[in-house]
């Protein structure tokens, strides 16, 4: 029998209850009658305490050497690795993705921590020839100070870690506000940082309402940088608030990612990648495939193969070994996805499979939506334009690669895009003409490697990149140094 615990805020090296004395229940989306844990409903006073703690720790942390900061991250990685099964199980219980997906994500968190621990030993600048031959000119990097980290619920371990690890290694202290939907999993990650022995105040977590705590972070004069992943609407507000007070900001927001299946594609590969890219994590990835743009000559063959596999997907609790696809992460998400499906039908799309809640009795208590495939979708329809963030694929038929790319680019987002083709010239045309930050050839649209830059164009991102060495550009400022003896 699962026993829910209460989790506190982590401020200045101590676990603290919110000053409101109020908690919220975090629920299991596969069974809304099960409480996963209780988390703090914090107030602005709690946030203030966390910012004061992070500010006080700032100078001591930045004065440590990069390798010394790296040692703390190696220790945190070991802690997460030791608790991998427990953290992954909590993640599955709290947001619904299947246990293998949750284990994979937690292992990715370990790898990200180790990658950035190593960054503590790598170059942070360049020597640049000066016009004065007796002078030394070089660049160095300075941390921003206190960084505010605002994260969503869809990757409750990987996203917080890929923001906090680079923030820390480059010498910043952190105030972290996880999504309330997955704050229990976030608390387990904080326990790992605590066990790694980071000095008090270097990393702090405050849970609570996004509109209150998140917005106050974006507005806070003692937070010098804000990194955000989430919806477009909130991201824009966060960016505007940070800009208004001259703080640095980084926004990772939505996607409406296309996969193009060209006339010469390996259809089995394209089908598997469409299913994996579109439906893993129940479609709740900013990199998820949502538009499948297929050449008319192979359209019917592709559709038959796709439907054959999608109809056999097993829906259920992510904790059950037989489950391929879990529930949506929350009631909000469930209602949103069902309303997009209704809109798709109303606007004239043809529902080929799915579209409902799933008929089995064991699905009744959860936020399950069947894997859904539409056809007869045109680019102007709502479900071809807006991010659904659920297990919904829209098939679109085209007669040429040029038409496919035109449709692929006809959205406000530009995060990731993939093509299936064996033809090098089609690959090169796609590579050059597609509007996307992540361009994938013969591979699914989702799937990110931690050592490579991650981010999009148009309204998907604010221009900066996360992960890999690209992270240094957000988490530090460049100092250009000129030395004359």
Ligand X SMILES: O=C(O)CCC(=O)C(=O)O
Ligand Y SMILES: NC(=O)C1=CN([C@@H]2O[C@H](COP(=O)(O)OP(=O)(O)OC[C@H]3O[C@@H](n4cnc5c(N)ncnc54)[C@H](O)[C@@H]3O)[C@@H](O)[C@H]2O)C=CC1
Taking the complex as a whole, how short is the minimal distance between the CB of residue 397 and ligand Y, in angstroms? Answer: 26
Q: Which of 10, 116, 389, 430 is close enough to bind ligand Y by CB under 6 A? A: 389
Pick one of ligand Y, ligand X, none as the site partner of residue 254 (Cβ within 5 to 8 A by kind). Answer: ligand Y
Q: Is 114 left (phi over 0), alpha (psi -120 to 50) or beta?
A: alpha
Taking the complex as a whole, how short is the minimal distance between the CB of residue 254 and ligand X, in angstroms? Answer: 9
Taking the complex as a whole, how short is the minimal distance between the CB of residue 453 and ligand X, in angstroms? Answer: 12
Binding segment for ligand Y (CB under 6 A), chosen from 43-51, 147-155, 256-264, 360-368, is: 147-155
Most distant CA atoms of the chain, gap in Å: 80
Pick one of ligand X, ligand Y, none as the site partner of residue 98 (Cβ within 5 to 8 A by kind). Answer: none
Residue 286 engages ligand Y in binding (rule: CB under 6 A): yes
CA-CA distance, 243 to 370, in Å (whole number)?
41
Residue 170 engages ligand Y in binding (rule: CB under 6 A): no
Are the CB atoms for 249 and 226 separated by under 8 Å? yes
Which residues, 6 or more positions from 320, have their beta carbon under 8 angstroms from its beta carbon? none
Q: Which is nearer to ligand Y, 245 or 422 (CB)?
A: 245
CA-CA distance, 165 to 176, in Å (whole number)?
12
Q: Which of 215, 276, 385, 409 is close enough to bind ligand Y by CB under 6 A? A: 215
Residue 252 engages ligand Y in binding (rule: CB under 6 A): yes
Q: Which is nearer to ligand Y, 39 or 294 (CB)?
A: 39
Q: Which is nearer to ligand X, 159 or 279 (CB)?
A: 159
Pick one of ligand Y, ligand X, none as the site partner of residue 389 (Cβ within 5 to 8 A by kind). Answer: ligand Y
Q: Which is nearer to ligand Y, 54 or 196 (CB)?
A: 54
Residue 230 engages ligand Y in binding (rule: CB under 6 A): yes
DSSP symbol at 20:
T
Q: Which is nearer to ligand Y, 271 or 286 (CB)?
A: 286
CA-CA distance, 411 to 385, in Å (whole number)?
6
Taking the complex as a whole, how short is the minimal distance between the CB of residue 327 and ligand X, in angstroms? Answer: 17
CA-CA distance, 472 to 207, in Å (whole number)?
27
Residue 385 engages ligand Y in binding (rule: CB under 6 A): no
Helix and strand numbers (H, E) in the chain are 15, 21
Pick one of ligand X, ligand Y, none as the site partner of residue 62 (Cβ within 5 to 8 A by kind). Answer: none
Taking the complex as a whole, how short is the minimal distance between the CB of residue 458 and ligand X, in angstroms? Answer: 16
Residue 445 engages ligand Y in binding (rule: CB under 6 A): no
Q: Report the catalytic residues.
A: 252
Instruction: Tell me, rounded to whole angstroms, the distance of Cα 125 from its chain centroid.
Output: 29
Residue 214 engages ligand Y in binding (rule: CB under 6 A): yes
Which residues, 6 or more positions from 110, have their beta carbon under 8 angstroms from its beta carbon? 77, 80, 81, 84
Are the CB atoms for 306 and 271 separated by under 8 Å? yes
CA-CA distance, 353 to 442, in Å (whole number)?
25
Residue 366 engages ligand Y in binding (rule: CB under 6 A): no
Are the CB atoms for 152 and 229 separated by under 8 Å? yes
Footprint of ligand X (CB under 6 A): 154-155, 159, 229, 285-287, 446-448
Pick one of ligand X, ligand Y, none as the site partner of residue 447 (Cβ within 5 to 8 A by kind). Answer: ligand X
Q: Which of 19, 35, 130, 336 is close enough to bind ligand Y by CB under 6 A? A: 336
User: SS3 for 112?
Assistant: helix
Taking the complex as a whole, how short is the minimal distance between the CB of residue 381 and ligand Y, in angstroms? Answer: 17
CA-CA distance, 383 to 245, in Å (whole number)?
36
Taking the complex as a whole, how short is the minimal distance between the CB of residue 15 and ligand X, in angstroms? Answer: 28
Residue 28 bridge partners (DSSP): 31
Taking the complex as a whole, how short is the minimal distance between the CB of residue 186 and ligand Y, in angstroms? Answer: 10
Taking the complex as a whole, how short is the minimal distance between the CB of residue 21 and ligand X, in angstroms? Answer: 33
Residue 218 engages ligand Y in binding (rule: CB under 6 A): yes
**What pairing do the DSSP bridges indicate for beta strands 416-420 and 438-441?**
parallel
Nearest to 387 by CA among 311, 456, 313: 456
CA-to-CA dists, residue 300 to 396, 423, 457, angstroms: 12, 21, 32
Q: Which of 35, 130, 231, 376 is close enough to bind ligand Y by CB under 6 A? A: 231
Q: Which is nearer to ligand Y, 237 or 458 (CB)?
A: 237
Binding segment for ligand Y (CB under 6 A), chosen from 53-61, 208-216, 291-299, 463-471, is: 208-216
CA-CA distance, 135 to 485, in Å (whole number)?
7
Token pair for residue 309? 């596999």
CA-to-CA dists, residue 162 to 92, 108, 189, angstroms: 20, 9, 12
Pick one of ligand X, ligand Y, none as the site partner of residue 262 (Cβ within 5 to 8 A by kind). Answer: none
Total site size for ligand Y, rule CB under 6 A = 27
Following DSSP, what letter does each residue of 169-220 receive, concatenated? HTT-EEEEE--GGGHHHHHHHHHHHHHTTPPTTSEEE--S-IIIIIHHHHH-
Q: Which of 152, 201, 225, 455 is close enough to bind ligand Y by CB under 6 A? A: 152
> Which parts of this chain interact with ligand Y (CB under 6 A)?
150-154, 177, 179-180, 210-211, 214-215, 218, 229-231, 234, 237-238, 252-254, 286, 333, 336, 387, 389
């Amino acid at each position: 029998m699962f026993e829910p615990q209460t989790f506190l805020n982590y401020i200045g090296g101590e676990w603290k209850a919110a000053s409101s004395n109020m908690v919220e229940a975090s629920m299991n989306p596969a069974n809304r009658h099960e409480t996963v844990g209780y988390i703090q409903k914090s107030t602005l006073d709690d946030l203030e305490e966390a910012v004061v703690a992070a500010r006080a720790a700032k100078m001591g942390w930045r004065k440590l050497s990069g390798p010394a900061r790296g040692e703390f991250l190696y220790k945190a990685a070991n802690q997460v690795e030791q608790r991998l099964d427990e953290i992954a199980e909590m993640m599955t219980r709290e947001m619904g993705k299947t246990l293998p997906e949750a284990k994979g994500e937690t292992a990715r968190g370990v790898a990200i921590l180790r990658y950035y621990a190593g960054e503590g030993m790598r170059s942070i600048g360049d020597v640049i020839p000066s016009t004065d031959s007796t002078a030394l000119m070089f660049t160095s990097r300075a941390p921003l100070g206190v960084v505010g980290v605002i994260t969503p619920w869809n990757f409750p371990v990987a996203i917080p870690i890929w923001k906090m690890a680079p923030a820390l290694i480059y010498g910043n202290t952190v105030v972290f506000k996880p999504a309330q939907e997955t704050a229990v999993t976030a608390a387990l990650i904080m326990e790992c940082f605590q066990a790694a022995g980071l000095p008090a105040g270097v990393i702090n977590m405050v849970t609570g309402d996004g509109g209150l705590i998140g917005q106050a972070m974006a507005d806070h004069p003692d937070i010098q940088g804000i990194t955000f992943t989430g919806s477009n609407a909130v991201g824009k507000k966060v960016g505007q608030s940070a800009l208004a007070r001259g703080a640095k900001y980084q926004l990772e927001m939505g996607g409406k990612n296309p996969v193009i299946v060209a006339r010469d594609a390996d259809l089995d590969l394209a089908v598997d990648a469409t299913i994996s890219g579109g439906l893993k994590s129940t479609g709740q990835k900013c990199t998820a495939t949502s538009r499948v743009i297929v050449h008319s000559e192979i359209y019917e063959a592709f559709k038959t193969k796709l439907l054959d596999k999608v109809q056999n997907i097993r829906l259920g609790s992510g904790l059950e070994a037989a489950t391929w696809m879990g529930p949506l992460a929350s009631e909000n998400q469930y209602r949103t996805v069902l309303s997009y499906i209704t809109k798709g039908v109303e606007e004239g799309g043809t529902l080929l499979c799915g579209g409902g809640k799933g008929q089995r009795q064991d699905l009744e208590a959860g936020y399950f939506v069947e894997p859904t495939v539409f056809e007869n979708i045109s680019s102007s329809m709502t479900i071809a334009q807006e991010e659904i963030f659920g297990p919904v694929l829209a098939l679109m038929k085209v007669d040429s690669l040029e038409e496919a790319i035109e449709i692929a680019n006809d959205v406000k987002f530009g995060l990731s895009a993939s093509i299936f083709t064996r033809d090098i010239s089609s690959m090169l045309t796609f590579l050059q003409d597609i509007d996307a930050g992540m361009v994938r050839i013969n591979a699914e649209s989702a799937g990110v490697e931690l050592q490579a830059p991650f981010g999009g164009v148009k309204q998907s991102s604010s221009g900066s990149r996360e992960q890999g060495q690209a992270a240094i550009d957000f988490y530090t400022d460049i100092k250009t140094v000129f030395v004359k003896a």
